[in-house]
Amino acid sequence: MPFDFWAGWVAVLTLSSVLGLGWFVFSIYFGSGQEAEDSGTVWDGNLREGAHPAPMWWFWLILATLVFSVIYLMLYPGLGSFAGAMRWTQAGDVQGSVAAWESRFSAKRAEIAAAPLDALQADAKLMAAAERIYARNCAACHGTEATGQANLFPNLKDDEWQWGGHPADIETTIRAGRNAVMVGWGGILGDAGVRDVADYVRQLPHGATSDHPGMAQYNQFCVACHGIDGSGQTLLGAPSLADDVHLYGGDAAAVEHSISAGRAGVMPPFGNRLDDMQIRLLVAWLTRS
């Protein structure tokens, strides 16, 4: 097999290098040609070949290094596929470290994962740890202060939660992710219809009048998700339109674009990246008053 060939090739190269270096050093210090024939050439007035041979402590240092290398190759992997007398592997070392870590911390982490949110929120050290978890995993999108950014990622510090602000809802969002679907209505409404509905939506927080030209189209195409009063439905991820919070911007152009082209926001799942304790700490940090 190719692996066996290359393993053998590595072993041959390693042994050849060790033996070659040993022979080379021995021949310099103890070989028959250790006293070079004087060629009569003189450099810099008094410097002749062989006048200043390498000191013997160099030899003993190199010999000790060679002996150490041979012992190491006998005990640990280094000769191709030979595992060494200690049978050490990097994977085994990692597994041992993980097992030791689990043995030491798993009970405490399970205790934190099951603790009430108010108890976690009262612990300054745990909240500091939660903030670090947020910084490593969430800040790139939601900002270092968790206030959202770029009219793409929602503010996590307010009371508006597209998929529900209950701790269980937030945990589901973190663990499983979310996929929002706002379909585009531009082809059905036309440019004038998009403008009318956008203007109606922008007036909903302030009490849109019943004779508004966009109301009929809103009632026809939008109420199924956003409700007749614009309060939204968290089960569908349909945000409230009855407030002034607009993820993608609340100006006329942004709202018209949302209605015309649609939106498809994605919150990736973190359940395969964060464990139960980390998710619990994040939920506690995000819901503290």
Quote the CA–CA distance of 110 and 129 in Å, as a whole number: 15
Quote the CA–CA distance of 20 and 16 in Å, as a whole number: 6
Judged on CB neighbours under 10 Å (0-12, 13-18, 19+), 142 is buried
Quote the CA–CA distance of 124 and 72 in Å, as a whole number: 48
**3-state class of 182 per DSSP?**
strand
Predicted confidence at residue 234, as pLDDT, reads: 92
**Beta-sheet pairing, 266-267 with 178-179:** antiparallel
The whole-number mean pLDDT for each consecutive block of 10 residues of the chain, a chain of 289 residues, reads 76 89 83 56 71 80 91 88 86 91 92 96 96 97 93 91 94 96 94 96 88 94 94 92 91 96 94 96 94
Quote the CA–CA distance of 259 and 201 in Å, as a whole number: 10
**3-state class of 33 per DSSP?**
coil
Evaluate whether 120 touches 112 at the Cβ level (below 8 Å): yes
Predicted confidence at residue 32, as pLDDT, reads: 60
Closest to 155 in 3D by CA, of 177, 172, 138, 168? 138
Quote the CA–CA distance of 45 and 101 in Å, as a whole number: 67
107: Cβ contacts below 8 Å, ≥ 6 apart = none
Evaluate whether 149 touches 142 at the Cβ level (below 8 Å): yes
Residue owning tokens 């009063």 = 229
Predicted confidence at residue 40, as pLDDT, reads: 64
In the chain, the N- to C-terminal Cα span, in Å, equals: 63
Predicted confidence at residue 100, as pLDDT, reads: 93
Evaluate whether 151 touches 247 at the Cβ level (below 8 Å): yes
Q: Positive or negative, the Cα torsion across 250, 252, 257, 262?
A: positive
